[in-house]
Structure 1
C-alpha cells in the first residue's frame, strides 16, 4: 500500500514534468517563429540608408496587380489588399489567378470589400467598381477600378484577339499593311481599359507570371512575397516603399 502510494505520486510528478516540458517547448518554438518572422519582415522591408518613408511613398503605382500562384485563397486577405491599395489612392487594382477560382467566387470577394469599404476619416465609402470581364474593364478616374482576371483573360485573351484580327483582315476590315506594332498595340490596349501595371506583386513560390497579360507587363516592376495569407498592413506598406525605392531604367 505504502509503495503503491509513492509510485502514484512519482507518476503524477513525471506527468506534471512532461506537461511543463511540453508547454516550455511550445513557448520556445513560438519565440523562435516570431524571431524568424521578424527577420523575414526586416528582409522584406529593407530600404537603402538614404531612403525615408516620406520620399519613397511619394512614388506610388497608378495600377497594382496581384498575381496569386498559390492553390488556396484567403478572400479576407485579398479584400484587405484591395482596400489598402484604394486607401493609398491607387486607382487601378487587378487580382489574377490562372485557374479562375477567384473570378468564379467574385461575389465572396465583393461582399468582403463592401464590408471593409469604410474611409478612415468616417466620411463615407470609396467608390469601387469591380469587373470580372476584360471587355468590361473601362478606365475611370472618378472611381477606383478593380479587375478580377484569369488565364482566359491573359494569354488566351491574346489568342482570341489574334483570331479576331485575322478575321477582320479576311473580311477586308483591316489591310495587311495596317497590321503594324503601333496599331496592334492600340488594339490590345483598347481590349483592356486599364493602363499597364506599374507594380506586380506575385504571391507564392512559382517564379512565373503564369499567363498574366503578357503584352502589358513590359515595363512593370515585379516584387515577390511568399504568401498572401495573413499578410498585414505593415508588410503591404513595406512593399509600396520597396517599389518607391526602385530606379526604373526602362531598358537603358
Structure 2
C-alpha cells in the first residue's frame, strides 16, 4: 500500500498504487517564455523538477519511473538548444549521480545513445555503469528515443533471428516482440502523465502505453510539484482499469 498526507494533512492510502509511472515533461520552453527568459532557462528549471520527482517517487515507493527527455524528433530543434540540452544532461548526471547511487536507484536508458555528443554519451555510460548493480527504484530516461523507431528496430532484430533459424515465424507473438523492446526488463507503465495541456503521445512508448491510464495536466513541467504528483496518484487510484474486460 502507498500512503501519504494530502494538503489538509490527512493521511491518504492508495488501494492500488502504480508500479510504473511515465512522464512526458512538456512546457519548459513556454514556462521560460512567460518569464521573458530563454528556453534553456526553462530546461534548467525542468531538470530541477526531475530531481524532486525522482526523490518523491522513491519516497512513495514507486518502483519504476520513466522520463521522456529527448526524442528522435528533437534533433530538429535549433542547434544551440540541442547543445544546451545535452549540456544540461551532463550537468545533471555529474551533480546527481552520487546521490542517485547512494539511494540504490538504477539508471536505465531507453533509446540509441550512439548519436549523442561525446561528453553526453560518456556521462550516460558512466551513470549506467555506476548504478548497474543497484536493485532499488528504476529511473528510466528516454533519450534519443522514438517509439516507432523502437518497434522498427525490434522487427528488424526478430527478422534477422528468424533468418538465422532461432525462431519460426509462427513463434512471433506479443511476448517475443516485447523481449526486443528497450523496456524488456520493465512492466508497462500504469500511469502516463503529460504536462503543458497538450493531449498526445508524441511517439512515446506506443506499444507499452496500450492499457496505461493517461493524465494530461494544464501546467508546465517546471510547475509540476510533489503535491501535484500526489494528487495525480489519487486520481489514478480512483480509476477502474478493466483491460478490455467488464
Aligned-residue offset at 1:109: 3.0
1:108 aligns with 2:58: no
Q: Please give the residue correspondences for 1:132-147 in structure 2 after superposition, counting only pairs within 5 Å.
A: 132-133=109-110, 142-147=135-140
| Structure 2 residue 147 is matched with structure 1 residue 154 | yes
The TM-score, its normalising length taken from structure 1, stands at 0.65
Residue of structure 2 aligned with 1:173, choices 153, 166, 178: 166
CA contact (8 A) 2:104 2:134 kept: no
CA distance in 2, matches of 1:103, 1:199: 27
Q: Distance in 2 between matches of 1:65 and 1:230?
A: 17
1:205 alignment partner in structure 2:
197
1:196 aligns with 2:188: yes
- Aligned counterparts of 2:185 and 2:200: Cα–Cα separation in 1: 24
5+ residue gaps, structure 2, are 1-5, 30-42, 76-81, 113-127
How many angstroms does 1:103 deviate by? Answer: 7.1
User: For 1:95, which of 52, 58, 67 is the aligned residue?
Assistant: 67
Distance (Å, rounded) in 2 between the aligned partners of 1:116 and 1:240 = 25
- Quote the offset at 1:207 in angstroms: 1.4
Give 2:238's aligned residue.
245
Query: 1:134·1:192 contact (CA, 8 Å) conserved in 2?
Result: no
Contact 1:83 1:113 in 2 (8 A): no
Q: Residue 121 of structure 2 corresponds to which residue in structure 1? A: none
Contact map agreement 2:192 2:215 (CA 8 A) in 1: yes
Structure 1 residues 248 and 113 mapped into 2: Cα distance closer, same or farther (>3 Å)?
farther
- Aligned 8 A contact 1:68 1:96 in 2: yes
Shift of 1:155: 1.9
Aligned to 1:131: 108
Residue 83 (structure 1) shift: 1.2
- TM-score for both structures, normalised by structure 2: 0.66
Question: Cα–Cα, structure 1 residues 139 and 60, in superposed 2: closer, same or farther, change >3 Å?
Answer: farther
Listed as ranges, the gaps of 5+ residues in structure 1 are 1-44, 46-51, 118-123
RMSD: 3.3
Q: How many Å apart are 1:227 and its aligned residue?
A: 1.5
Q: Which moved more, 1:205-214 or 1:141-150?
A: 141-150
Q: CA deviation at 1:181?
A: 3.6
Distance 1:139 1:217 in 2: 26
Say how many residue pairs are matched.
194
Q: Which has the higher strand share?
A: 2
Query: Pick from 69, 81, 97: which aligns with 2:53?
Result: 81
Higher alpha-carbon Rg = 1
